[in-house]
Structure 1
Amino acid sequence: MTLAVAVDAKMQEVTVWTRGVTLAKEARDTATLLAKAGSLEGKYHQFFDNYVDLPDRIGVPVKSYARLSPEPIETFYEYENYRPDIVVLAEETLVKGNDVLKGCKEGCVVVINTKRDINNLIKWLSPKENVNRVKAVAAIDADALGAGVFHTFDGTEGCIDDTKIGAGVGAAMAAAVAKASGIVKLETLLKIAENKKAVQQGWDAVQVVAL
């Protein structure tokens, strides 16, 4: 039996891939910043971790999600993004061995935290049959732009998330996503992120390759 899944036609889904525990905070910040920015712009929004991945483990691929829509979100109780419009890799090696494009929509945008030549990473995207749905792949060295703010365990396995949102790498990642996809505006991110310098630098430095 096939499970029928509701579709919000105007909703944009963002899936942020990361590695458990050590990088979870930055992925969560990326999703949270995008969702909160969308809210300030008058959109309905959601942001959450993938409950299927929990409890997470150090280094294991896990995901955080954001959803933005100009209309009320009908898929309120779906706990995974099955049809991502935007795929974000918070760490470059996630591009290998993970079906990051699974279910992606036509016109999908992929953003990778890397200092490598983006063309050397595109060949690893999978599933291969979904690569032709990708509109653009963007690269941003968010680790360099968020330098000085260490990865924390905040919000992981019941820990309190006491670090301000967008203090480090997540700020640059969110800005790169915004510029590559147009999902939210730069000025909105600047209003809510703790590290406004990283937001501006992420916006300015992201490199986008059209496929």
Structure 2
Amino acid sequence: MTLAVAIDPKMLEVTVWTRGVTLAKEARDTVTLLAKAGKLEGKYVQSFDNYVDLPDRINVPVKSYARLSPEPIETFYEYENHRPDIVVLAEETLVKGNAILQGAKPGCIVVINTARDPKSLVKWIAPKENLKNVKAVACIDANALGAGITLTFDGTEGSGDDTKIGAGVGAAIAGAVARASGCVSLESLVAVAENKEAVKKGYESVKIYNL
């Protein structure tokens, strides 16, 4: 049976891949920051975890999502982004063995948290047949830029987060996404993030390889 998916041509879909529990906070921060920044700019937004993959398990690949649109978003009951415009990997090894480009739209931007050069990672991105839809691959060493922040694992298992939104690695990743895609402005991200310097450094330090 084919799944019928509502398509809003003006809606931007962001999918952040992460690993259950250990890095869930960073993925959640990334989508939340992008959504909050988009709302500040007058966009209609959504951000949420992937309830298809939950409950989380330690280090298992899971996803978080954001949606931004200049018009009201009608896809309230779609719990996955089926046609991402932006794909983000919160941890570099997720590039291997995962179909991160499944459903990717033409012009898709891929952002990877890694110290490696983006050109060296293109060969691992799958499915290969969707690579033609990728406009650019961007890399940011967010682990280094967000270092020194003590994060909690709360929130992943249903309790509240003790660490403020955008205090660590997620802030740098969001900055890199903004620079590589132009989905929100640097100023808007800085306004909503706890770690404003990490956002700025992520924006300024991202390496972009155009395909």
TM-score band w.r.t. shorter chain: over 0.9
Matched, 1:182 2:166: no
Distance 2:97 2:2 in 1: 27
Q: Is the Cα–Cα contact under 8 Å of residues 179 and 203 in structure 1 kept in the other structure?
A: yes
Give the conservation status (yes or no) of the 8 Å contact 2:152–2:161: no
CA apart distance, 1:2: 2.6
State whether residues 26 and 151 of structure 1, in contact with CA within 8 Å, keep that contact through their aligned partners in structure 2.
no
TM-score when scaled to structure 1?
Answer: 0.98
What whole-Å deviation, never above 9, does each CA across 1:98-131 have from its counterpart, x for those lacking one?
0000000000000000001222211000000000
- Alpha-carbon shift at residue 154 of structure 1 (Å): 2.3
**Preserved CA contact (<8 Å) 2:152 2:162:** no
Alpha-carbon contact 1:110-1:137 (below 8 Å) kept: yes
Distance in 2, matches of 1:2 and 1:54, equals 23
- Give the number of equivalent residue pairs: 211
Contact preservation (8 Å) 2:151, 2:163: no
Distance 1:102 1:2 in 2: 15
Partner in structure 2 of residue 30 of structure 1: 30
Do the aligned partners of 1:153 and 1:159 also contact (CA within 8 Å) in 2?
no
- 2: CA distance between counterparts of 1:88 and 1:2? 26
Shift of 1:151: 3.8
1:23 partner letter:
L
1:115 aligned residue: 115
**Within-5 A mapping of 1:1-211:** 1-211=1-211
Distance 2:3 2:65 in 1: 21
Percent identical among aligned pairs is 76
Provide the secondary structure at the position in 2 that maps to 1:62.
strand
- Secondary structure at the residue paired with 1:109? strand
Report how far residue 48 of structure 1 moved.
0.2
Unaligned runs of 5+ in 2: none
What stretches of structure 1 move > 6 A for 4+ residues in a row? none
CA deviations 1:137-167 (Å, max 9, x no partner) are 0000000000001342121111211211000
Q: CA deviation at 1:4?
A: 2.1
Q: 1:81-107 CA deviation, whole Å, 9 max, x = no partner? A: 000000000000000000000000000
- Work out the CA distance in 2 between the residues paired with 1:151 and 1:119: 31
Q: Any unmatched runs of 5+ in structure 1? A: none
Q: Distance in 1 between matches of 2:115 and 2:145?
A: 11
Q: Deviations over 1:148-201 (max 9, x none)?
A: 013421211112112110000000000000000000000000101000010110
- 2:209 and 2:6 map into 1 onto residues whose CA distance is 32
Give the conservation status (yes or no) of the 8 Å contact 1:22–1:152: no
